[in-house]
Amino acid sequence: MCEHDHNAGPVPNQVLARRSVMAGAAALAGLGALGFAAPASADSGERGALAASYHGSALKTVPIIIEGGTLIDPATGDTVEDGVVVLRDGKVEAVGTREATRKAVKDAAGQATRIDATGKFIIPGMVDAHVHANGLEDVRLILQSGATTVRSGSSTFYQDIALASLPKWNPGLSPRMHPAGLFVSPEQGDSILADPELAPLAALEGNIRDVKDLAYLTGVNLRRGATVIKTRANPRAGLAEQDPLELVYDREQLSAIVKAARGARVLCHAYSAKGIAGAVGAGVASIEHGVFVDEQTIGQMARRGTAFTPTLAGVAGMANSSDPVIAERGREFGPVLAQAVRAANEAGVLVVAGTDSFGTDVMPIGVEAQALEDAGLSALQALQSVTTRPAKLIGVERQGVGRLLRKGVADAVILGSNPLEGTQALSKVEVVIAQGKIVRNELN
């Protein structure tokens, strides 16, 4: 967990070469500098200014009818046996009993793909609130796990911003991505080459620490199309040479980032009690990792509505590292973080699931949900941690993300067992539908 260095920037190891990624990112940045805005998000309803002159049109999806399974509403835990979902034109056209969906099924039947979910359980597409995706293979693996909406924890060359545009052209190629762009952090490494507007920051002595420079970097991200902002209070726990309790940015610096974000929600990587308290006081939307959060700050998070993305499975998983320093941190941090998750959940803090997956090292989102249940969340709360809770954090609940609602987004997952009886069911994914397209089907 967090062994990756977001700044130095490993890039996809597929056929696409590093120089191609950099060239594409530079092209994106250059066009932005000329006054073109990058696409706002996969859910913005726009094709994206950079593709507005393209002569072709987006790929279309065919209707899908899912029938016979048990529908689960994560908001309430209510179920509908022998349920039906009709997906059409990227939306949920109908959902509920056979009687309630009869007309929609009849209208779509002649052209629809039908999925028999008898004996299975149907939930909305899941949400992973903390990923680092840099390429197509990365997001393919994320989708396979059932996460159809993700919040980026930053990328190295604006790849997440490009990925956010893909579903409008090719549904199912990428999750609904809420991109952060570059990590707002003291050292940018090669990421500074992603954008000509970042060149002035290369002249700084002491890296990016002045509040005006932090605001500048935040603004560049927004201009390139970031819809969330990622920053930090502490270094990484997954790099042995770094001290994860050292303070990187204090409350004043983090406040400058929050202000410069202009309403875009800020997620903050933090481990130490002081770092977490400063981030919460600065007004960030969520604390990422948050191992040593104290009782007073948990109370403040509950009052302010600050969410908690503990990435628990990843933090505890450091105990399996071959590096003795990292392994020891995992053994120490894992139990402390599990206790923090339990205390935060009991205090009414919005605990959400995030895997901190990086590149093709993708942890299925169900694994994190299971870790949260093991820490003290109920099975329903663990299901909500990958559906309704992160949808609320990101601000997309009204679009139907996290629930199967009429006119909501056409994202659905079919499970082999009931997640209300045990969260391990969320790792038994048999069908994934993203943006109205089947991207995984093991029922045929």
What is the per-residue pLDDT across 58-94, written as a single tens digit (0 to 9) for each? 999 999 999 999 999 999 999 999 999 999 999 999 9
Q: CA 256 to CA 171: how far, in whole Å?
A: 37
Output the six-digit token pair for 369. Answer: 């949900």
Those residues whose C-beta lies under 8 Å from the C-beta of residue 309, and which sit 6 or more positions away, are 129, 130, 267, 286, 287, 288, 289, 290, 352, 353, 354
Q: Does residue 286 form part of some domain? A: yes
Residue 160 and residue 86 in one domain? no
Q: What is the pLDDT of residue 308?
A: 99
Residue 213 and residue 265 in one domain? yes
Q: Does residue 76 form part of some domain? A: yes
Q: What is the pLDDT of residue 51?
A: 72
Q: What is the pLDDT of residue 50?
A: 56
Residue 111 and residue 191 in one domain? no
Q: Could you give the residue ranges of the DSSP H alpha helices within 225-364?
A: 251-260, 273-282, 295-304, 312-317, 324-347
Nearest to 282 by CA among 300, 263, 246, 256: 256
Query: Do 405 and 398 form a contact (C-beta atoms < 8 A)?
Result: no
Q: Supply the range of the domain harboring residue 200.
A: 18-53+124-399
Q: Does residue 6 form part of some domain? A: no
Q: How many domains does the chain have?
A: 2
Residue 349 and residue 419 in one domain? no
Residue 176 and residue 203 in one domain? yes
Those residues whose C-beta lies under 8 Å from the C-beta of residue 370, and which sit 6 or more positions away, are 313, 382, 423, 424, 426, 427
pTM for this model (two decimals): 0.90
Q: CA 434 to CA 414: how far, in whole Å?
A: 12
277-300: per-residue pLDDT in tens? Answer: 999 999 999 999 999 999 999 999
Identify the segments of the chain with pLDDT beneath 50.
Answer: 7-47
Residue 391 and residue 414 in one domain? no
Q: CA 280 to CA 168: how far, in whole Å?
A: 35
Q: Does residue 58 form part of some domain? A: no
Q: Does residue 90 form part of some domain? A: yes
Question: Can you tell me which residue has the tokens 């509908």?
Answer: 80
Residue 319 and residue 409 in one domain? no
Q: What is the pLDDT of residue 2?
A: 54
Q: What is the pLDDT of residue 53?
A: 81
For 166, 307, 421, the CA distances from 88, given in Å and listed in that order, are: 19, 33, 31
Q: What is the pLDDT of residue 130?
A: 98
Nearest to 316 by CA among 289, 294, 298: 289
Residue 143 and residue 75 in one domain? no
